[in-house]
Amino acid sequence: MSEFNKAKMFEKMGISADVYEYGEMICNSLKERFERIDQVAEYNQLKVINAMQKAQVQEACLMGTTGYGYNDLGRDTLEKVYADIFHTEDALVRPQITCGTHALALALMSNLRPGDELLSPVGKPYDTLEEVIGIRPSKGSLAEYGISYKQVDLLEDGGFDYDGIEKALNSKTKLVTIQRSKGYQTRPTLSVERIGELISFIKERRPDVLVMVDNCYGEFVETIEPTDVGADMVVGSLIKNPGGGLAPIGGYIAGKKECVENAAYRLTSPGLGKEVGASLGILPQFYQGLFLAPIVVASALKGAIFAANLYERLGYSCLPNATEDRFDIIQAITFGTEDGLVGFCEGIQSGSPVDSFVTPEPWPMPGYDSNVIMAAGNFVSGSSIELSADGPLKPPYAVYFQGGLTFPHAKYGILKTVQALKDKGVIDTVNLKNK
């Protein structure tokens, strides 16, 4: 049997010796930090197993339904599992929810009425929500239904503008939306603790106001979730963290029973709600993906930390930086040039298991105000818990890297980005090992 030689395998896979040695140096410096991530993952893994056991998940839960989907045991039990994990009264977990934006739109449109006002106390929402709200005009937006919107930006240091928030709260304010992750912004991701402080401030002044947290990219990063600190609803996508890379579609809303019930009536029809919605044989992926999610999220976190440490030493601005605590799986790296952004995405694509031979091209993606480049050679189209990277082609030319079902793949993909940028002449890597 030939001798095990990892360096030779990396060389065979297109990674030069200097890039490989640089990556090994970074990895060796992160062992203690990775051990802490594994501890959180173990806790969250037990939390998921406990919820499944309490809900008495059984083999029959893995069978699908068709047609109306009446009495779908697996679907209804899965929603009990989600409600238990998030410590909420109820949950809606459906393949009929097509993506994270759809889940958020569903939660907003079902719990707001004409004349109500929506408030974001954490600045501009993610790009695709602008048309949902009506910040950018679009058919069927909240604005078209007479729902107004206010926004309070974060302070320059990333803190909450409590004075501005207090002034913005008024008799029309019905729902406050808090985006946990940064989206296409260079602001810090919010920890669950900070979200709890903001919710407490709002509830002290307006206890009747609903608070919804966009939980995308944040599930299982910490040992608690926003509903543990007062959020009335958390909303997310199953092709991000909680789907564990196996869910091929879907979204969830977990929270107060009335909020979830409103969303169910909006998703299906008044009078029908949660009673209909066939699972169509998709439940094994939903259950097994959720089961794997804590470990998959840990792998993605390790990849993000590896990338930050690697690129910060090369002189690039990273958010979070190399040493900061993590509250989501996204790593932003600012290149300042289009070549840097495009080259990074080309590297991720070439390191993918699917479509590795494809070159990603910027395009006017629906819901965005500029061309966007996306690299995602994934098993599930658009799955951002898998190794992926994207960014809008506009200053400051930041790339948003996320995912990695396994750390070895995340590590390889990130090294491919360094290799791609080195080959393009964007990065000077003459003495990488001395960095």
What are the tens digits of pLDDT across the range 60-118? 999 999 999 999 999 999 999 999 999 999 999 999 999 999 999 999 999 999 999 99
> What confidence tens digit (pLDDT) does each residue in 237-251 have?
999 999 999 999 999
Instruction: Say how far apart CA 141 and CA 145 lie, in whole Å.
Output: 7
Q: What angle do CA 378, 35, 10 make, to 5 degrees?
A: 45
Query: Count of H helices and E strands in the chain?
Result: 12, 12
Q: What are phi and psi of 379, to 5 degrees?
A: -75, -30
Residue type, 124: K
> How far does CA 101 lie from the centroid of its chain?
11
Pairing relation of β-strands 117-120 and 173-179? Answer: parallel
Q: Which residues, in sequence order, are CB contacts of 121 under 8 Å at separation 6+? A: 152, 160, 161, 164, 165, 168, 176, 178, 198, 202
pLDDT, mean of residues 178-191 = 87
Bond from prior residue into 392 cis (ω within 30 degrees of 0): no
Residue 398 β-bridge partners: 334
Domain ranges across the chain: 6-43+291-434, 66-281
- At residue 118, the 3 state secondary structure works out as strand
Q: Is the pLDDT of residue 431 over 60?
A: no
**Contact residues for 358 (Cβ-Cβ < 8 A; gap 6+):** 349, 377
Lowest-confidence segment of 51-65, 80-94, 179-193, 218-232 by average pLDDT: 179-193
> What does the chain come to in residues?
435
Q: What is the pTM of this model?
A: 0.95
Return the CATH superfamily for domain 6-43+291-434: Methioning gamme-lyase, C-terminal domain (3.90.1150.60)
Assigned token pair, 117: 């006002």
Instruction: Round to whole Å and give the CA distance between 37 and 46.
Output: 14
The domain 66-281: what is its CATH number?
Answer: 3.40.640.10
